[in-house]
Amino acid sequence: MGGPEFYQDWIGDLFDNLVIWCNDDKSEWLIQEKLSERATFCPGTVTGTRKPLAEGQAVYTCRQIEGKSVGMEAIVKIRLQVPPEYPASKIPAVRKRLASTEPSSWTNQEVGSLRHFNKKGCKVTPKLFNVKRSLQEWGHSPVPGGYIMFIVMEKVPGVPLTHFWEYDMAKRNKIRAAFRKSLDWFVDFEHIFVDEKKEPMKFSEGDYILWGLARSSARGTKW
């Protein structure tokens, strides 16, 4: 899912310098530098609905410009519905037929997991500041009328692996080794199902694929 065969750059500069207004606490956040962008695709044969699922995701820095902590820097992750095929129709009305107002299971998992660990007082996960759910309002949006979610969270130390696949094999393997060693220190919850009643799952090769550190294809796993 989200491998090299699926178009990865649906968002581009769509949200550059956008201001997000959050109704819950009346705060406003100015979107700044984009840190990463990617897209995920799941065919209809796997979703169980016969309809393919496609989502674009981008991570930005942002700064509060209105609210109780003006000037505070944070991270905003934007997740939105995108067309399941590229190139998509250039006609907004055609793309609008694909619109779903309900966020994907991937988005719901991430938000639900963040809320769960925040509630438990977990010290190794970012604090969730705001979640703003909306719809793509513009004709030039990937899917006009489709869902969009802005997830504003604490900015934590670390370096985004935006250029992971540009590194040589030795460096990629070093990153994978560090990841495997510290998998229990979660920061991002896109594909994590929270269930305290189950025993912890054992590490598998699939974990590398789920977290974007390996790619699955018809020819096998790409490292």
Question: Lowest-pLDDT range, 46-55, 103-112, 153-162, 196-205?
Answer: 196-205
pLDDT of 84-108, one tens digit each?
A: 999 999 999 999 999 999 999 889 9
- Given the structure tokens 């949006």, which residue do they identify? 141
Torsion angle of alpha carbons 212, 48, 186, 210, nearest 10°?
A: -20
Q: Which one is predicted more confidently, 68 or 216?
A: 68
Mean pLDDT, the chain, whole residue set: 86
pLDDT of 121-163, one tens digit each?
A: 887 789 999 999 999 999 999 999 999 999 999 998 777 777 8
Name beta bridge partners: 149.
79, 133
How much of the chain, in percent, has pLDDT values that exceed 90? 56
Does 186 score more than 60 pLDDT? no
DSSP line for 45-82: HHHSSSS-EEEEEEEEEEEEEESTTTT-EEEEEEEEE-
